[in-house]
Structures are given as structure tokens and as C-alpha cells.
Structure 1
Amino acid sequence: MQYSLLSTLLLALLSLSRASFNAGCSNHKPRTIVVDQSGHGQFTKVQQAIDSVPTMNSVWTHILVKSGIYKEKVIVPSDKPCIVLEGSSASKTIIEWGDAIEVVKSATFTVYAENFKAKNIMFKNTYNENTRPGDKYPIKQAPAFQVTSDKVSFYRCRFISVQDTLSDLQGRHYFRSCYIEGAIDFIWGYGQSVYQGCLINATTGILGRAGYITAQGRDRATDSGGYVFNRCIVVGTGPVYLGRAYGAYSRVVFYKTSLSNVVKPQGWSSWHYPGQESKITYVEAGCTGPGADMSGRVKWEKTLSNEELQSLADANSFVNQDGWLQKQPF
């Protein structure tokens, strides 16, 4: 990442997203929309279905996307909340595009709206997919998904790219049984998120060097952001760090997670903040596997009290304080 340029772009983007429409979602007479490439639904494109949702929507709208590869770039604007997007399975319903111009504008799928839920879909950015070690042209930032809003959840979804795969930028998010693939900073941003039972695949073999799973950007000690990986599995094709600091108070927790031998012995990097490591909160607790050997870890990795650890590891206390997850239907 080009840190100074991205920071400027993100500040503008986050300011815009804070002005998003905010209202509750009603289960009274929920709508269902079918997207089918064969023409057996209301629409053949996912963006067409999103566009059909009324402005200032307040009724849960279920968009069913039939099997197929949907080659399109999709945006859910802030004035279209209360959407559940569901595919047939993450191996059969695929939304893909190949863009890498500017990281905050290049995602295959972008959500600005609150109260969004995705199930059983693959989101893919194909820009770097043919990269091989030693290639002349460098890998570029090419997100598969970008989320900048609150109360967003994902179930059994797949996110595939190489660099900046998942732009987890702002708001509270919950990922359950998802698959996330990438090599460089492939889960990054300022979000406040729990990854529960997810498979993290570091495809760093294409780099010929070590990569990074997370680049979390918490800027102040009072910020609520951070990434928590609860009972996940980390595998890969080459060496990888668990994370590097994208903000001075970056916060990432791996809890009861299986770490394969691709994890670098040092575990973490302070990146832009050498000498400020005391502000960073990087934690491993109850992890297993050959990559969980702590003997070579950076000396500044934190140890939290059991109370502090549980407040982060428990989705209800960290991201679901007002019970929004239970209110999402389908």
C-alpha cells in the first residue's frame, strides 16, 4: 500500500459512508427478487436487482442469485439498506471483475448500506489471478469486496484475490464459515469484525517472499476497531505474517485458531510504526498447530487478561452489542 495516498482517499470515503441512511429494517411483507442468467428471474444481473430496491428502503429484501458466473462490478449505495444477498453456493454463484486502478474504487463488490447480509456467494477480483513468481509486472491492490458500513454479515462466502482481497474498512461485521484467500494485506482496513470458523488461505507462494494476512488500521486507543479470528484455520503456500500495523493502535486477535507452518516465527510487523509497538495490540491465545509456536515471536506481542480476551473473542460483546445479528432474517 502507498500509505499516505491511501490514507487521504480513505478519510474521504469514510466521511461519506458515515452519512449513510440509518434506519431499522422491517420483516413485514419482505420482498424476494430472483437473479438468473438464463432469464428465469426478474433480472439477469446482480446490479439490476440492487438498483430495483427502493431508495430509503426499510423492508428486508431477499435477493436470490442463481448459479452462474456474474461478470460485473456491483455497488450497494448507502440509501439501499436491508438487503440479504444469497447464492446457491459459494462454488456455483460467483461475482467477479478485474479492476485495480485505485484500491477504494476497485472492489468487485462494494457495500455502503447498513444492514446487509450475504450468504453462499464467491466474490472474486481476477486482476492478479495469473501472477507468477518473478513476473515483470507487480501485483496491484485489487479487492474482491469492500464494506464501509455497519451491521454487515457474511455466511459461507468466499473472497478471492491476491492483494487487499477484503477491504474491511468501517463498521461492525461478522464473518461465519467463510473462505478468504490472498497474499498481501488481504484483510485490511479500520473495521470492527469477528471472523468465526473461517479458513484463511495465504497464497504467498506466488510472491517469492513473505506476505501479510492483516493490515488493521486502528488509529486511536479509543477506537473500537479491530479484527478477531475465533477458531479459524490458517493455511498457505508460502511464508506469511499474521499482520502488520496499518494504524498506530492496530488491533488483531487470533483466538483458538489452527496455525500451519507457513506462519513466520516473528508473527507480526510494526511496519509504519517502529518504536511505537507499545500502542499495538497483537494477541494470540489458545492457538494450535506448528505455526503457533511462540518462541520466536516479536517481544512486543500483547498478553491480555481473560476478561479482556473474552470481551474481544465473544461476538456478542465485540460486534453484536445491540443484537443486530439476530434481527437479520433468512
Structure 2
Amino acid sequence: MPGSPQLVLTVDRSGRGDHRTIQDAIDAAPADTAGGSVVVIRIKPGEEKVVVGKPRISLVGTNAGSTVVTWNESSSVVAASAASPSSTVSVLASDFIAKRLTFQNTIGSSGPAVTVRVAGDRAAFYGCRFVSSQDTLLDDTGRHYYRGCYVEGATDLICGNGKALFDKCHLHSTSPVGGAGAFTAHRRSSESEDTGFSFVGCRLTGLGVATSILGRPRGPCSRVVFALSYMSSTVSPEGWDDDCSDPAKRRCRTAFYGQYQCYGEGSKTDGRVAWSRDLSQAEAAPFITKVWVGGQEWLR
């Protein structure tokens, strides 16, 4: 919260800081930050696997172009959702903030390679970059806010079952021509779950024409909205995965996929799957402000 007291720790692998690794700094932070105090960890780049298991931790870099936290491990998304063995960084506690950092998983295209798993409530990322090949950002559970961030990958760039607002972010697909890229893969299993991904004022780009869809339903009630966003020709005309071929799934009947006042070659709705939605202002309103993630109560 504004005005909260801070404990500042510095991570420098050369030994000129308070700690040599990010994990050492997190482990040294108080487990119970009384009075809403925040632990700010200023970090230098390096190769490290990090687990944030304490609340009110902030990771701050100097510049996302130069402050890179990297790892190189792959796993199935099912496993990642449970224990997150592949994540470069796992955020498991509430009230987390990251600023001006690049999170990277360099395992390549051999399988899912999560950069960050976000499984704590009230997490915010500002000016961060997430770079991998598959399942780049696992927005797993909780309410999350991303402002001015960059997400890169070949397929399922953003997956999970969180409730997230992406504000003025850039999504870049590295799926090749003839590939099967997807910008999102939201996992919502029932309409009673208050989850979904909302993208407002974002940019969607890629390596070629019609190489990626906006999303595919990893759960039967997947919910994704794009509003006021630029879509390049990399977005396929159908827009969404028409997962109706399997009678056991019929996910297109229960998924909520829509767009509102988007622009660019890839935003045209005349070729979209029949069940996607071209939202009215009233329909889009719940998705396009910080109220979507309750941000008026916790974003600082």
C-alpha cells in the first residue's frame, strides 16, 4: 500500500550486495511483514530458479533489457500447475510485485517451458518481459495485473486459470508459418469460477501471416476478452480454436471468447468462429478496467 514501510535488500552475485542470490534474499526476508511492510529486493541478472513463498515481496530490476532472470527446465503443464518444476520463478504468496525484469526459460521447443508461475493473489508486474517457447506465462490462480509487459512464445503464451488484466502489453508469437500458435489457453472448468484473461490496449504481433489464434479452451468454460487492442495479420481469421470436433468436449458451447473495438488486419470479425462474440460497450465494460481484478482495492 502507498506509504508502507520498506526493507530494501540488494542481490549482487559478485558479493557487493546484501545477498548473492535472489532466493537467499527471499529466505532472509521476514516471514511475517507486520503492518503491511514491503520487502524490496533489488537484483542483478543471473541464472537461478526462484520460489517466492512469502507475502509482500517486490523484485526490482534496473532495466528489463539487461536484468534477466533465467532458467532452463521443461515439464508438463499439469505438473507445472501442481509443483511448477519448470518455472524460472514461482510466485506462491500474495501481494507480489515485479518491475523492470526479464524472466526467461531457455529450454527451447522440447516442451512446455514456463518462465513465471503466478499462484498467489494480488500480484502485479510492471515493465517486465516473459520469454520462452511454450506456455510462457502460467497465470495459475489468483488476481493479477500486468502493465506494459512483453510476452513471447510459439504457443499458449499465457495459460492457467487466473483472473488477470493485461494493460497495454505486447504479445509476440514466434509460431512459424504453418504452425499452430495460440496466444492464450485459459483453463476455466465451470461458469461458477470467477476467472478469465482480459487484454486492454495491447499489441499482438508475430513472425508471419495467420500463424496464431487468439486462444484455445484448455477448460470447457475458458474466458478471454481482447479490447481496444491492435491485432496484426499474424492473428488467424477464425480467431479462436473451434474445438467442436470432439463430441465429448464441445467446449465452444461454453467458452466465452470476445473482442471489443480492436483494430488491425487480424481484428476483422467476419471470419471468426460462429460462437465467438463481438462485444457491445455494455458487454465489454466489466472486463476493461482495474475493477476486473479488484485492483482499486489492492494495486499500489
- TM-score w.r.t. the length of structure 2 is 0.91
Identify the match of residue 282 of structure 2 among 307, 311, 316: 307
2: CA distance, partners of 1:28 / 1:299: 50
Is 1:115 aligned to residue 85 of structure 2? Answer: no
2: CA distance, partners of 1:49 / 1:97: 18
Is 1:36 aligned to residue 12 of structure 2? Answer: yes
Is 1:188 aligned to residue 159 of structure 2? Answer: yes
Taking the TM superposition and a 5 Å limit, the aligned residue runs for 1:1-330 are 29-58=5-34, 59-66=37-44, 68=45, 70-77=46-53, 80-103=54-77, 104=80, 105-128=85-108, 131=109, 139-205=110-176, 208-238=178-208, 239-271=211-243, 274-315=249-290, 317-320=291-294, 323-326=297-300
Paired amino acid for 1:62: V
1:179–1:62 Cα change, 3 Å: same
1:48–1:242 Cα change, 3 Å: same
Larger deviation, residues 46-55 vs 105-114: 46-55
Say whether the 8 Å CA contact 1:178–1:197 is kept in structure 2: yes
Once the two structures are superposed, residues 176-224 of structure 1 have per-residue CA deviations (whole angstroms, 9 ceiling, x without a partner) of 000000011110000000000001000002x741211100011111211
2: CA distance, partners of 1:196 / 1:170: 18
Residue 75 of structure 2 aligns to a residue whose secondary structure is: coil
Paired amino acid for 2:258: V
For the aligned residue pairs, the C-alpha RMSD in angstroms reads 1.7
Percent of aligned positions that are identical: 36
1:154–1:293 Cα change, 3 Å: same
Superposition deviation, residue 153 in structure 1: 0.2
1: CA distance, partners of 2:3 / 2:24: 23
Superposition deviation, residue 321 in structure 1: 5.2
2: CA distance, partners of 1:50 / 1:173: 21
Once the two structures are superposed, residues 145-184 of structure 1 have per-residue CA deviations (whole angstroms, 9 ceiling, x without a partner) of 1011100000000000011000000000000000000011
Larger deviation, residues 172-181 vs 278-287: 278-287
Where does the alignment leave 5 or more consecutive residues of structure 2 unmatched? none
Residue 266 of structure 2 aligns to a residue whose secondary structure is: helix
Residue 287 of structure 2 aligns to a residue whose secondary structure is: helix
Residue 30 of structure 2 aligns to a residue whose secondary structure is: coil
After the TM superposition, which parts of structure 1 deviate over 6 Å for at least 4 consecutive aligned residues?
none
Aligned to 1:11: none
1:26–1:174 Cα change, 3 Å: closer
Say whether the 8 Å CA contact 2:125–2:146 is kept in structure 1: yes
Superposition deviation, residue 247 in structure 1: 1.0
2: CA distance, partners of 1:321 / 1:99: 33
Say whether the 8 Å CA contact 1:166–1:187 is kept in structure 2: yes
1: CA distance, partners of 2:121 / 2:5: 24
Say whether the 8 Å CA contact 1:85–1:117 is kept in structure 2: yes
1: CA distance, partners of 2:104 / 2:131: 5
Residues paired across the two proteins, number: 287
1: CA distance, partners of 2:24 / 2:2: 22
Where does the alignment leave 5 or more consecutive residues of structure 1 unmatched? 1-24, 132-138
1: CA distance, partners of 2:42 / 2:124: 16
